[in-house]
A and B are shown apart, each in its own frame.
Chain A
Amino acid sequence: MDPPTGDQPVPGGEGASAAPFSALPTPRSITWRAWLGSPIALLPLALVAAIVIVLLYASELKNFGWSFWSFNYLFDPLTDSGSFGVGIFAAGSAITATLALILAGLLSLAIAISLTVYLPPIASRPLTILTNLLAGIPSVVYGIWGYVILAPYFGSTLEPTLQNVIGFIPGFGGTRVDTAGGTGLLLAIFILTIMVIPLTTAIMRESLRNVPRDLVEAGLALGATQWEVTRQVRLKVARGGLWGALFLGFGRAIGEAVAVAMVIGASIQIPSTIYGGSTTIASFIFYQLDSAFTYPSLLQALVEYALILLAIAVIVNVVGQRATHSDTIAAATGGV
């Protein structure tokens, strides 16, 4: 994303990444692979288009008016009507995803720097495998772990202790009602942080690893310490990838439905404390989907929530991919 400021001319984004591939031999004729492959390559595009079309069709684009963008959610199942404000759920999503990302971002950066700069390969290799392993655990497993093991501990021990110790900080106080059962924002953020760390760590690690060796060695030759080189060279060259990791991590956190639904407490509110129950867009869809088949207008509202999530996912992923890509360009051109 950042315009390279090096003295050599920098080609545009596509040109730079395409350059190495132009050297490959071009296929002489259209093989069966190409015949078969081309339509299959278009499959993802067709799938995304199909999802959007089906969602638009299912929602019948019912106009809920301005109340849809409000913080007022009140559904009356008797009359199958009500106010379907997305505000509370959007806020829940934003709070959990952002806080989880701040925590995960800091931890991932520390892990990635340790793995690439400081630890010898004998230590960093198994740790790399372990962080990758964390990424492969299905989200529902995190959810069950949070719900069965962590929630009782959070509710009975950790959260009351936090209330006693740092309760004077606004948002960390509250009563027994907020910590009841242990489910709530704090547990959701905790679970999301653990779920996001493997993804952000992997991208950050590879971005740091892709920093050209000559730049690092030049820095060291000038007498800089490892930490100074990391701060001045590695982090600057890799910043696109680091930002990309955050965006992709945000996409993962905001889209997570099952694990969050199991631990966030299913309250329709923006709680006044970090312990209180809340709901995100994704988990609310998860909670209500089965009932929604009985209540047509609720189903329409859920479909429109899904469209919002889809839009967020597209934006976040495009920005994230662009950012990691710009990092690859920077590395390829040697520009800082």
Chain B
Amino acid sequence: MTNDSIVQGAPMRHRGGRRIGLGVTIAVAVILLAAGLGGGYVLGGSHGASSGATKYTLLETGSTLIFPYMNILGPKFTSLYPNIQISPQATGSGTGISSAEAGTVDLGGTDAYLLPSVAANYSLINVPIAISAQLAVYNIPGITTHLNLNGTVLSMIYSEKITKWNDPLIQAANPGVALPDQTIVPLHRSDGSGDTFMWTSMMYMSWSGWTGGYGTTYSWMANQKGYEGNAGMVSGLESTPYGLAYIGISYLSEIQADSSLQYAALGDEAAIVNGTNPANYVLPSAQNISEDANLALKNLQPPSVAISLILGGVPGATDLKLGAGGTLPTAQYPTPYPDTNLEYILISTHPANPSKQTWVVNFLEWAMTFGASYATQVNFLPLTPTVVGYNIQALGGVNVSA
């Protein structure tokens, strides 16, 4: 309608100019097209010559938390198998799930597992590829140390029951720290996000006053602003003094690169489960994250790998609906980091192209075994042997060509 309205009343003397413009546009388009085709042909030719195997580009989309990891794994896998390219996109876990359901991608990355009952409807399986964690990051001018925060306090902040940084509950957890008398500005994700799923799961399990459940989307309090993706959260928090945000651990280097941002130590699970003050606060170190994962995975019910690791997991639960709470630390795992998670890849068990799916399975098996050594580059952790075992078993059920 725009063009109609403009052209409708255009005086004739402009027509000549338009024709020249159109000619130039077409010429440029033709040149670009020719260049693109030529480039593609040359690339295709060289690859075809170097290996006899069929070339595939495996499409991955979803979790912005997985994205940096896929960017490392993809080229490594291609260097081993030049006929396979991995093409990852950071679109948010919501898109990862919906694209996998729609069958438009080969690998749907998500921080939130898809309920096994729903996954079955779409012939999808959850395949964990790494253990990740989430950080509570803040931008408080003048404070550069790790504050002590816990699930209950964070839940109350996002419910706006706690509105000031020097609230007695925060001050009690941080004796000796000069907390500013400033309003807290909580940030959230505007897109469908597995980080939102993890964060709201922790809120839901930590404090009985939390309403609205948990999921990849959530009805946030009115005045809270949203940002797109983990990268958007980092840049949003940078321009929000006294702000608080939840950010995936694979963005740790971006957080550390900005001196105004710092992440919190989180209170242990004992406090949440027993309703007492946390005995100790734990940083998201590799040791603490793996303790939480091991604690929760003790509860893993074969063959499902859909499990929340938040607060050490809920005993016997593959779905948080079955109960709020958490698992107490044990003598073996004394300092679990509560905001821990499995990163999932959704793949189809009945793919349209089984011979391509062979490579999807190959890639995943490589990623969770040999490729797992790259996990620490984005502060992820390799899967435990139990989970890898379940994965191999599950991948055996995928319809691939011999």
| Cβ A288 vs Cβ B1 within 8 A | no
Q: 29 A-B residue contacts at CB 8 Å?
A: A75-B217, A75-B219, A76-B212, A78-B213, A78-B214, A135-B2, A151-B239, A155-B239, A177-B185, A180-B239, A180-B240, A181-B225, A184-B225, A206-B6, A241-B9, A244-B5, A248-B2, A251-B1, A266-B188, A267-B220, A268-B222, A290-B94, A294-B98, A294-B216, A295-B215, A295-B217, A298-B217, A320-B1, A321-B5
> Which residues of A are found within 8 Å of B178, using beta-carbon distances?
none
Q: Which A266-322 residues have C-beta < 8 A from chain B?
A: 266-269, 271, 276-277, 287-295, 298, 317, 320-321
Q: Given the interface contacts A155-B240, A180-B243, A266-B190, does A202 sit within 8 Å of B6 by beta carbon?
A: yes
Chain B: how many interface residues by the 8 Å CB criterion?
49
> Which residues of B are found within 8 Å of A293, using beta-carbon distances?
94, 97-98, 101-102
> Which residues of B are found within 8 Å of A184, using beta-carbon distances?
225
> Which residues of A are found within 8 Å of B228, using beta-carbon distances?
262
> Which residues of B are found within 8 Å of A199, using beta-carbon distances?
2
Q: In the complex, A68→B75 CA distance in Å? A: 49
**Which residue from chain A places its CB closest to the CB of B215 in the assembled complex?**
A77
Min CB distance, B200 to chain A, in Å? 8
Min CB distance, A282 to chain B, in Å? 14
- The A interface, classified by DSSP as helix, strand, loop or mixed, is helix
A335 at the binding interface (Cβ < 8 Å): no
> Which residues of A are found within 8 Å of B2, using beta-carbon distances?
135, 199, 202, 248, 252
| Cβ B1 vs Cβ A321 within 8 A | yes
Q: Given the interface contacts A183-B225, A206-B8, A293-B97, does A77 sit within 8 Å of B217 by beta carbon?
A: yes
**Which residue from chain A places its CB closest to the CB of B62 in the assembled complex?**
A290
Q: In the complex, A288→B192 CA distance in Å? A: 6
B241 at the binding interface (Cβ < 8 Å): yes
B92 at the binding interface (Cβ < 8 Å): yes
**Which residue from chain B places its CB closest to the CB of A88 in the assembled complex?**
B222
| Cβ B215 vs Cβ A176 within 8 A | no
Interface string of A73-104 (1 = CB under 8 A from B): 11111110010000000000000000000000
> Which residues of A are found within 8 Å of B190, using beta-carbon distances?
261, 266, 287
**Which residue from chain B places its CB closest to the CB of A77 in the assembled complex?**
B215
B321 at the binding interface (Cβ < 8 Å): yes
Q: Given the interface contacts A209-B9, A266-B190, does A176 sit within 8 Å of B212 by beta carbon?
A: no
B56 at the binding interface (Cβ < 8 Å): no
* Size band of the interface chain A makes with B: 35 or more
Q: Which of B6, B11, B225 contacts A180 (CB 8 A)?
A: B225
15 extra interface residue pairs, beta carbon distance < 8 Å, beyond A76-B212, A241-B9: A77-B218, A152-B239, A156-B239, A178-B223, A183-B236, A184-B225, A202-B6, A203-B6, A251-B1, A262-B228, A265-B225, A290-B94, A290-B191, A291-B192, A294-B215
List the interface of chain A (C-beta within 8 A of B). Answer: 73-79, 82, 132, 135, 151-152, 155-156, 175-178, 180-184, 199, 202-203, 206-207, 209-210, 241, 244, 248, 251-252, 261-262, 265-269, 271, 276-277, 287-295, 298, 317, 320-321, 324, 328
| Cβ A77 vs Cβ B240 within 8 A | no
| Cβ A294 vs Cβ B226 within 8 A | no
| Cβ A206 vs Cβ B10 within 8 A | yes
Residue picked from A152, A265, A291, most chain B C-beta under 10 Å: A291
> Which residues of B are found within 8 Å of A82, using beta-carbon distances?
219
Q: In the complex, A98→B60 CA distance in Å? A: 41
- The B interface, classified by DSSP as helix, strand, loop or mixed, is loop
Q: Which of A77, A180, A252 contacts B214 (CB 8 A)?
A: A77
Min CB distance, B128 to chain A, in Å? 19
List the interface of chain B (C-beta within 8 A of A). Answer: 1-2, 5-6, 8-11, 91-92, 94-95, 97-98, 101-102, 114, 118, 182-183, 185, 187-188, 190-192, 212-220, 222-228, 236, 239-243, 321
Q: Which of B9, B218, B241 contacts A176 (CB 8 A)?
A: B241
| Cβ B5 vs Cβ A203 within 8 A | yes
> Which residues of B are found within 8 Å of A292, using beta-carbon distances?
98, 192, 217
Q: Which of A176, A182, A244, A248 contacts B183 (CB 8 A)?
A: A176
Q: In the complex, A288→B94 CA distance in Å? A: 9
Q: In the complex, A317→B2 CA distance in Å? A: 10
Q: In the complex, A328→B5 CA distance in Å? A: 11
Residue picked from A74, A181, A261, A271, most chain B C-beta under 10 Å: A181
> Which residues of A are found within 8 Å of B8, using beta-carbon distances?
206, 324, 328
> Which residues of A are found within 8 Å of B215, using beta-carbon distances?
77-78, 291, 294-295
**Which residue from chain A places its CB closest to the CB of B197 in the assembled complex?**
A77
| Cβ B239 vs Cβ A209 within 8 A | no
Min CB distance, B29 to chain A, in Å? 15
Min CB distance, B8 to chain A, in Å? 7
Q: In the complex, A38→B239 CA distance in Å? A: 56
Q: Which of B91, B188, B191, B321 contacts A78 (CB 8 A)?
A: B321
Q: In the complex, A180→B227 CA distance in Å? A: 12
> Which residues of A are found within 8 Å of B216, using beta-carbon distances?
77, 290-291, 294
Q: In the complex, A294→B98 CA distance in Å? A: 7
> Which residues of A are found within 8 Å of B114, using beta-carbon distances?
294
| Cβ B219 vs Cβ A73 within 8 A | yes
Q: Given the interface contacts A76-B213, A180-B243, A317-B1, does A175 sit within 8 Å of B225 by beta carbon?
A: no
Q: In the complex, A183→B92 CA distance in Å? A: 21
> Which residues of B are found within 8 Å of A288, using beta-carbon distances?
192, 217
> Which residues of A are found within 8 Å of B213, using beta-carbon distances?
76-79
Min CB distance, B117 to chain A, in Å? 12
Q: Which of A132, A180, A241, A294 contacts B94 (CB 8 A)?
A: A294
Min CB distance, B76 to chain A, in Å? 28
Residue picked from A74, A202, A266, most chain B C-beta under 10 Å: A266
